[in-house]
Amino acid sequence: MRIAPEGTSITELDQWDIFYDAKDRDSVLSAVVTSVVRPKTLNGLYWELKFEDADGVRGVVPSSETGLPSERTMNFFVNQKVNVKIKSIDRKNGIVACTRREVVEEAINHLLGTLTEGEEIPALVRFVSRRGVGLDIGGGVIVEVPYRNAAYSRSLPLDVIYRPGQLIRVTVQAIDKEKKDIRVSIKDPWENEEFSRGTILTGRVLKIRGREMFVEVRQGLVGLAGYPLNKRIEEGEQLPFQVMSFDRAERKLHLIVLDPERIRGRRVRRERRIREAKR
């Protein structure tokens, strides 16, 4: 049995074996993108990766091996996990050259053989930009949905409606096996909802901007509420809200923070008016 030096472990000694084995087996490893680098001596950008429990090992993925359609989306993956294969190992300098492109190609070939047009599938939001939303429809295959097709609520910015790491439902619109292209549409969260004025809902405060709060009451269905003067509210809080107005056609939902005292006061005034009318 091997004995590790004091203060180390056998796992630390054998960490390079993981990479050699992954390279030999052509297997997939997971890593976190730590930065996007533009080197002085090379053309193009590259990702730097950090592997779990592999201190001192730096992964490198050139832009051509990211599996992304263009360099402009590389920044969106910083601090996110990606799956890669090991192409070469420079143990002396602590570097492993990786490819995500091969992993994505395998995934898209699988999807092309299994998906059907009209099918509804889950998708993971990987990034949100002014142009639209980048969705992972499986295995790292990224499909970009343009702004005009993603912004169901025109009064809300995309980064309020969608958040990296959020799971949503999409419908497969078109499959082109020759071009290896898959297009999807985001399921409209407003189409089957109906709220009457006075309805009480539980909502989560997504963002606070000035005196306005963006409140999610259903997955992907976000309304606007004014920030109350007499209450402190933080982003992420779940609170009861009351519907002031709902317009499905315009994709607008106006809410107000539920105030039991205000409701009780209205009830008392209504009962008083009823009694006076009977006199």
Domain spans of the chain, in order of start: 10-101, 115-186, 199-262
Residue 4 scores a pLDDT above 50 = no
Q: What does the pLDDT average to over 111-129?
A: 95
| Lookup: tokens for 269 | 């005034």
Tens of pLDDT along 256-276? 998 866 655 556 566 667 666
- Per-residue pLDDT at 8: 47
What is the length of the chain?
A: 279
Q: What does the pLDDT average to over 2-25?
A: 69
Dihedral sign computed on CA atoms, order 146, 151, 156, 159: negative
% of the chain residues with pLDDT over 90: 62
Q: What does the pLDDT average to over 197-209?
A: 91
- Per-residue pLDDT at 134: 95
Which residues on neighbouring strands pair with residue 83, listed in sequence order? 30
253 in helix, strand or coil?
strand
For 115-186, the fitting CATH number among 3.40.50.720, 3.40.630.30, 2.40.50.140, 1.10.1200.10 is 2.40.50.140
| Lookup: tokens for 7 | 């203060």
Cβ-proximal residues to 222 (8 Å cutoff; 6+ apart), any chain: 153, 156, 160, 161, 206, 214, 215, 216, 253
Q: Which residues of 30-66 are buried (b: 16+ CB within 10 A; e: fewer)?
A: ebbbeebeeeeeeeebbbbbebeebeebbbbbbbebb
Residue 141 scores a pLDDT above 90 = yes
- Per-residue pLDDT at 2: 46
Residue 186 amino acid letter:
I
Residue 10 scores a pLDDT above 70 = no
Q: What does the pLDDT average to over 7-20?
A: 68
**In contact, 261 and 230? CB cutoff 8 Å:** no
CATH architecture, range 199-262 = Beta Barrel (2.40)
- Per-residue pLDDT at 219: 80
CATH topology match: 10-101 vs 115-186: yes
Lowest mean pLDDT among 145-149, 182-186, 226-230: 226-230
135 versus 189: the higher-pLDDT residue is 135
133 in helix, strand or coil?
strand
Compute the mean pLDDT over every residue in the chain, rounded to the nearest whole number: 87
Which residues on neighbouring strands pair with residue 29, listed in sequence order? 84
Written out in words, the top-level CATH class of the domain with range 10-101 is mainly beta
Tens of pLDDT along 39-73? 877 678 999 999 988 888 999 999 999 999 888 99
- Per-residue pLDDT at 6: 52
- Per-residue pLDDT at 102: 97
**In contact, 191 and 218? CB cutoff 8 Å:** no
